Amino acid sequence: MDARNGQVLYQKNASSPMYPASTTKILTAIIALEHSRLDEVVTVPREATRVEGSAIGLQEGERLTMEDLLYALLLASANDAAVAIAEHVAGSVPAFAALMNEKARSIGARSSNFQNPSGLPDPRHYTTAYDLALIARYAMHNPVFRTIVSTRFKQIHRPDADRSKGPPQEHLWNHNRLLSRYEGAIGVKTGYTIEAGQCLVAAAQRNDRELIAVILNSQGAAVYSDARALLDYGFSAFKPVQLAEKGEKVSSFSVTGGAEKVEAITGNSFYFNFPAGEKPSFEQKIVVHQDLRAPLATGQKVGELVFTRAGGKELGRVDLVSARAVGTSVTRRWSTWVLGAVVFLVALRLRAMMVHRWRWRRLRYPPYLR
């Protein structure tokens, strides 16, 4: 997947439900980052110390910063850190899972369901390669997340750990071997369970391009060779072409009640990857919102610029926005003022008639005759 525009360059069974194992922690981390501060102190609950699988040996009552727990989560793939984060953020693992599913839906990962923050096997805990690519693409826009998953080694601090039980694990090495074995690798997360097999979500950057590869249910070292093959293919077999530049004037048109024409410009840039060596061929169509009426604010969406291939296959869309504010026309303002004045005069006339009638009744029927 192209991380810039979400275009899928290659897929095999990308929509098949699969177990994600610890690649789940990509979503866990982004929720933690959006619902807490890095300097927040997290007290380790008993439930975190009882978790199965990979862990750094957290102790009940031990206090760590959210930042250190996130490094443990994403570098050492610590399941105990995942539970500690979940209970701190949401109060319980089920409540945190609800946040995970809500976030996944908002990102567009609608074929997934999450039951826990670690990725431990559960028949109701599944995702797809496509959904994981969407989640990773979203997460990599967060600069803190991006820094953590690209870190090879980190020393965390566990001052509250009971050292009579042995030295606590404070030196963390990133499990993602691709960081040291692939040019431009920048993350993101490994995963493994017997049920899920070897899993890897990988991201790499070369020049101004960034690609994301997702491999699920692989075996042994093949997960890394497959990731390298996918990334190499994406970088070499495709060429990005800019179809639209942000702020580019596309059209101007009249709008109901407008004092002037709307100048429609592109709200963002748009790139599409064409096969290398192929002459880019595309068509574009302007779709204007039919219910537009003045006034319009600067930057207000007024339509879309739709790019298609021959045959009608859509390549993508770019929002069209108003380059500047558009006020109501003088004629419309004048008619509004006239109507308002007429209503006001009618109201005054009705009030005068009511006052006159009231006075007439008082004169005709004095109080002592009523």
259-268 confidence digits (pLDDT tens): 788 888 999 9
Give the rounded percent of residues in the chain with a pLDDT score beyond 90: 76
Question: Mapped to the 3 state alphabet, what secondary structure does 211-253 carry?
Answer: EEEEEEEECCCHHHHHHHHHHHHHHHHEEEEEEECCCCEEEEE
Q: Which helix (H) or strand (E) holds 318?
A: strand 314-322
Closest CA to 43 of 1, 84, 12: 84
Mean pLDDT across the stretch 10-37? 98
pLDDT of residue 291: 81
Mean pLDDT across the stretch 73-100? 98
Mapping DSSP to helix (H, G, I), strand (E, B) and coil, where does residue 265 land? Answer: strand
Mean pLDDT across the stretch 348-354? 78
Mean pLDDT across the stretch 321-327? 90
pLDDT at 332 over 50: no
Contact criterion met (CB below 8 Å) for 57 and 167:
no
pLDDT at 334 over 80: no
Contact criterion met (CB below 8 Å) for 107 and 31:
no
pLDDT of residue 70: 98
Residue 346 binned pLDDT confidence (cut-offs 50, 70, 90): confident
pLDDT of residue 10: 98
Mean pLDDT across the stretch 35-59? 97
Q: How many degrees, rounded to 5, is the angle at CA 86 between CA 85 and CA 88?
A: 65
By CB atoms closer than 10 A (0-12, 13-18, 19+), residue 323 is middle
For residue 280, the one-letter residue type is P
Which residues are known to be catalytic? Answer: 22, 25, 77
For residue 72, the one-letter residue type is A
Specify the range with the lowest mean pLDDT, choosing from 46-60, 148-162, 215-229, 281-295. 281-295
